[in-house]
């Protein structure tokens, strides 16, 4: 039986939909694709927020696309929003509008957007070292990949709508060379770190994606006398095209071959980003891909549902732990104990959370000591900072926040529901974070000697108490004492008394 899934990309300029049917043994067949220009970023970059009219328009488009997807039999509709939604102070209005359509809209970090675009453009395995450049409406994603590895990912605050309406340069009329240089300098400022890194690593091939790059490819191809292939363009061709575009106002640009009416006012800003990045990266020829975020969402879905060429989330967590020089033996022991306690409490009916929290707890356990990379003093606080700002591939913003909070409180008292640390979080999510944080704290205590002394963990629950049975051949009196010191905290969070007993096992 084929499974159908809808993928919606709520971008700064347009909202895209892709409906894919996954037949048994296949990698998926697109059955419907469409887009609508909503310009979420226009009001944002002019006034500082997404206006009510634009939110309503986005709601209509999201609702219609979700309806179409379900009409094709989609069991799930996955939706993600990017730069404009990330930056808008009233992004909650957009999320709520989507929710009213029955769509759970995820606002993803820029690094996650870059990873998904790389999957959409190159697939999970790039045969040669390839640089991906995706110039959207509000941000530009950079991905450098070889084989199955992402060598470098970044998200730049550059985009066609951002530069058109947030740069201070009026682009509806003719754009002077001096004004164009202002735009180019903005690109230089926003990209210098990525430029240095990409030049250091190097690449063999460059591929561009997004509506802006597709449009530029078509316009460059239309100007050639013989070869009208829009699948590529050169830096020289683009430089010549941009001179002609800047020498005309919006109406005059419409006379240029392949110029569309809904892009004439933002093509200068988008073109400036592409031209300057080609110059800075040293790209002579840019191949053009029509794939993007929604195809990346499809590929990511495949890898999580039957085609796991590589586990993105595991890989990104392991990489961060390794980069921070974590004690692997300790973090693995804490992870094992965390999951054992979680499973035991769940089986006993003491812990009732969505299964996703087990996975997030495991990742938090693996990363709970990454803050020691900065300093052991307050390392739990440093762990929070690192995880929260790590842009781990495969995780959305809410998951990173949850993991960071779980790790933060493994070494401190866990605050109440009204704490500033949980501001803006759903009460159920806050409660789950508290419970997982306490499990992690208990697991960390069990390996306090860094010797994996506790061999088995058993749990027996009654209506008013939980008994933790620890089987160990070694002396674990320090662990027992420390666990007893958090009895009040356990009672506050789980609503039951905590009892701890040591089941001695004879050493072989």
Q: What is the DSSP letter of 315?
A: H
- Residue ranges, the chain, pLDDT below 70: 1, 23-27, 306-312, 315, 393-394, 505-508
Task: Name the CA dihedral angle for 179, 180, 182, 184, rounded to a multiple of 10 degrees.
Answer: 180
Cα separation, 268 vs 265, in Å, equals 7
Is there a contact between 158 and 140 (Cβ–Cβ < 8 Å)? yes
Cα separation, 347 vs 96, in Å, equals 35
Cα end-to-end span (Å), the chain: 54
| Residue 277: both structure tokens together | 């990045």
* pLDDT at 458 (0 to 100): 78
* pLDDT at 168 (0 to 100): 92
- Number of Cβ within a 10 Å radius of residue 102: 12
The values of phi and psi at residue 151, to 5°, are -75, -30
* pLDDT at 393 (0 to 100): 64
Class of domain 111-292: alpha beta
* pLDDT at 475 (0 to 100): 77
DSSP conformation letters of 104-144: -EEE--HHHHHHHHHHHHH-S-EEEEEEEEEE-SS-EEEEE
| Residue 157: both structure tokens together | 């605050």
DSSP, collapsed to helix, strand or coil, labels residue 145 as: strand
* pLDDT at 220 (0 to 100): 96
Is 223 exposed, middle or buried (CB count within 10 Å of its CB: 0-12, 13-18, 19+)?
middle
DSSP, collapsed to helix, strand or coil, labels residue 483 as: helix
DSSP conformation letters of 30-59: EEEEEEEE--HHHHHHHHSS--HHHHHHHH
Is there a contact between 349 and 372 (Cβ–Cβ < 8 Å)? no
- Report whether CATH 3.30.420.40 matches the domain 3-108: yes
Residue 86: closest CA among 105, 107, 103: 107
* pLDDT at 467 (0 to 100): 85
Is there a contact between 41 and 13 (Cβ–Cβ < 8 Å)? yes
| Residue 383: both structure tokens together | 């762990």
Give the domain 312-504 fold.
Hypothetical protein af1432 (1.10.3210)
Mapped to the 3 state alphabet, what secondary structure does 158-210 carry?
Answer: CCHHHHHHHCCCCCCCCCCHHHHHHHHHHHHHHHHHHHHHHHHHCCCEEEEEC
Q: Is the dihedral of CA 63, 69, 74, 77 positive or negative?
A: negative
Domain ranges of the chain: 3-108, 111-292, 312-504
* pLDDT at 471 (0 to 100): 82
Residue 493: closest CA among 406, 401, 423: 406
- C-alpha of 89 from chain center: 19
User: Do 111-292 and 3-108 have the same topology in CATH?
Assistant: yes
pLDDT for 169-219, tens place per residue? Answer: 999 999 999 999 999 999 999 999 999 999 999 999 999 999 999 999 999
* pLDDT at 25 (0 to 100): 54
* pLDDT at 170 (0 to 100): 93
- Number of Cβ within a 10 Å radius of residue 438: 23
| Predicted model pTM | 0.69
Cα separation, 137 vs 125, in Å, equals 27
- C-alpha of 39 from chain center: 22
């Amino acid at each position: 039986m084929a499974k159908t899934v809808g993928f919606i990309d709520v971008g700064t300029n347009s909202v895209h939909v892709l409906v894919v049917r996954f037949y048994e043994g296949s990698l998926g067949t697109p059955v419907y694709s469409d887009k609508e220009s909503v310009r979420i970023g226009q009001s944002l970059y002019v006034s500082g927020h997404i206006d009510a009219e634009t939110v309503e328009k986005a709601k209509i488009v999201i609702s219609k696309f979700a309806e179409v997807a379900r009409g094709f039999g989609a069991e799930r509709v996955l939706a993600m929003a990017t730069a404009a939604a990330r930056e808008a102070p009233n992004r909650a209005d957009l999320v709520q509008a989507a929710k009213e359509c029955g769509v759970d809209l995820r606002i993803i970090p820029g690094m996650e957007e870059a990873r998904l675009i790389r999957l959409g453009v190159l697939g999970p395995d790039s045969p040669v070292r390839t640089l991906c450049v995706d110039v959207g409406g509000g941000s530009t994603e950079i991905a450098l990949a070889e084989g199955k590895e992402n060598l470098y990912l970044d998200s730049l605050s550059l985009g066609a709508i951002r530069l058109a309406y947030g740069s201070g340069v009026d682009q509806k009329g003719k754009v002077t060379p001096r004004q164009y240089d202002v735009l180019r300098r903005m690109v230089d400022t926003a990209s210098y770190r990525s430029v240095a890194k990409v030049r250091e690593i190097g690449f063999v091939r460059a591929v561009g994606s997004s509506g802006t790059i597709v449009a530029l490819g078509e316009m460059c191809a239309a100007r050639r006398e013989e070869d009208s292939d829009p699948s590529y363009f050169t830096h020289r061709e683009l430089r010549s095209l941009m001179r002609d575009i800047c020498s005309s106002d919006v109406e005059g640009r419409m006379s240029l071959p392949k110029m569309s009416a809904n892009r004439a006012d933002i093509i200068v800003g988008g073109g400036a980003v592409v031209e300057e990045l080609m110059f800075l990266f040293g790209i002579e020829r840019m191949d053009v891909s029509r794939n993007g975020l929604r195809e990346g969402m499809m590929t990511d879905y495949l890898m999580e549902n039957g085609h796991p060429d590589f586990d993105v989330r595991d890989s990104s967590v392991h990489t961060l732990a390794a980069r921070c020089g974590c004690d692997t033996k300790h973090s693995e022991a804490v992870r094992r104990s965390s999951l054992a306690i979680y499973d035991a409490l769940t089986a006993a009916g003491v812990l009732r959370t969505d299964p996703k929290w087990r996975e997030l707890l495991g990742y938090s356990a693996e990363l709970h000591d990454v803050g020691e990379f900065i300093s052991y003093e307050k390392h739990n606080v440093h762990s929070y900072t690192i995880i929260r700002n790590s842009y781990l591939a495969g995780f959305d913003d809410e998951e990173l926040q949850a993991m960071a909070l779980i790790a933060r409180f493994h070494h401190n008292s866990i605050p109440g529901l009204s704490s500033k640390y949980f501001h803006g979080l759903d009460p159920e999510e806050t409660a789950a974070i508290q419970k997982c944080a306490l499990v992690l704290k208990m697991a960390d205590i069990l390996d306090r000697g860094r010797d994996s002394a506790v061999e088995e963990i058993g749990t027996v629950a009654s209506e008013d108490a939980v008994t933790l049975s620890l089987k160990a051949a070694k002396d674990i009196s320090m662990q027992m004492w420390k666990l007893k010191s958090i009895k009040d905290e356990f009672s506050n969070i789980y609503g039951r008394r905590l009892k701890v007993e040591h089941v001695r096992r004879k050493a072989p």
